[in-house]
Amino acid sequence: MDITEIIDTDFETFDRGTPVSKLRGAFESSGEKALVITDADGLVGVVTRRAVLSSHEKGTQKAQSVVRNVPTIDRHEDVRETARLMIAGDTRLLPVVDGDELVAVVRADDLLTHVHPYLSVLDVDDVATTAVVSVTPDTSLGAAIATFRDERIEHLPVVSEDSDEAVGIISLFDVLAFVTRELTRSQGGSPDGDDTDGAGTDRGGYGAREGESADLLSLPVRNVMVETLGTTMLDESLDAALETMFDFGASSSVVVDDDGSLAGIVTKTDLLESLTWTDDDQLHVQVFGADIVDNITDEYLATQIESVTRKYSGMRLLEAKVHFKEHKERLRGMSLIYVRVRLYTDKGLFVGTGEGYGGKHAFSLALNTVERQILEGKTYGKSMKPKETDELEKIYGWWLSK
């Protein structure tokens, strides 16, 4: 199954010299999660909504200050590979090229809509995160931002102060949009009078009071959280969970038990990851961000992971995911690399992170953390039950190769 039917040839592009303030306005008016940036030579990259909102650049700064490279694909790319590249590139929009010419884009929502009927073979329980971090309505926005940063997540369920009942959800985007909007309103626009909402109205220059940002971050989460909650349950099918997300215009859904208590969270990213699964008999390591590290192969990662897990004969390793992310900091020409390793086993989910100069160093630190957790029996989720052969054939992607 390829993406031919879901590419969009009628899409908007922005020049690399476009002011960041205009990009903010474009995001507000279009609802897009990423915008394509070009110049006279063609494709430059994309700018994400998150990058624009979290940028500390003034509104007069240009798009080139927040643009980044993402993978490109051709119009006949396979759905599974497209999903993998979206996750690896941390983007929900991929440029489609014909040779060196930009001809279209493909969006994550369109891809998920395309495969929607096939998601019924999986349950929420197969992909959801069940060891989920949460906040309460009285948690401050500053504390929520710290949690997003420390846990490296983008969604936080909100639970009642008195129980584990899910009463809302807050996203990193919600917080950034709220703070940016309120600061812009207080400041009266950008210094040159360029209206940040893209309407072209002159609202004057900066004039915010001292401490305005600190005051905003002290506000409780209840001021920003979404209370109209689209929830799902662990035994629901993934196609039903996706329908809930679409119905509520959300990128995630809170997973609840029969009594409404928090049981986990499932995101569109989880659904995209499920499209990349295979039925290979050998250990399958899903690697995201591999393009930023040299001399590291899937075979190397699998060998290192299996060398750790085979020490524990009572545990069956079912799947492994390794995420690489590059920081700007460098030492002797080597970049600081962040690595997250997730091991799915019949004894539970084990998660370890590490930072080091060079991919192999960072990976070894993350794997050491995982090994300590295995030794201590500290899991981040319930056991993943081994599935029968016919069920594995049904789940691990055969329908996407039709």
What is the pLDDT averaged over residues 40-67? 82
For residue 130, being part of any structural domain is answered with yes
Q: Is the pLDDT confidence value at 144 over 80? A: yes
Please give the pLDDT value at position 344. 77
More confident residue, 206 or 377: 377
Same domain, 164 and 253: yes
Same domain, 160 and 98: no
CATH of the domain at 19: 3.10.580.10
Structural domain range at position 299: 280-385
Please give the pLDDT value at position 6. 95
Q: Is the pLDDT confidence value at 192 over 80? A: no
Determine phi and psi for 261, rounding to 5 degrees. Answer: -75, 150
Same domain, 269 and 137: yes
pLDDT digits (tens, 9 = 90+) for 60-102: 789 999 898 888 999 999 998 899 888 877 889 999 999 889 9
Question: Tokens 């909402």 sit at which residue?
Answer: 197
How far is C-alpha 105 from the geometric centre of its chain's CA atoms? 19
Same domain, 249 and 128: yes
pLDDT digits (tens, 9 = 90+) for 330-377: 887 788 999 999 887 767 778 899 999 988 999 999 999 999 888 877
pTM, rounded to two decimals:
0.68
CA gap 25, 51 in Å, rounded: 14
Domain limit, last residue, from 60, 88, 111 = 111
Classify residue 284 by its DSSP letter. P
What is the pLDDT averaged over residues 153-170? 91
Contact 341, 359 (CB under 8 A): no
pLDDT digits (tens, 9 = 90+) for 288-332: 888 888 778 888 898 888 888 877 766 777 778 899 998 888 887
Q: Three-state SS for 211?
A: coil
Q: Is the pLDDT confidence value at 201 over 50? A: no
Please give the pLDDT value at position 103. 96
Please give the pLDDT value at position 33. 87
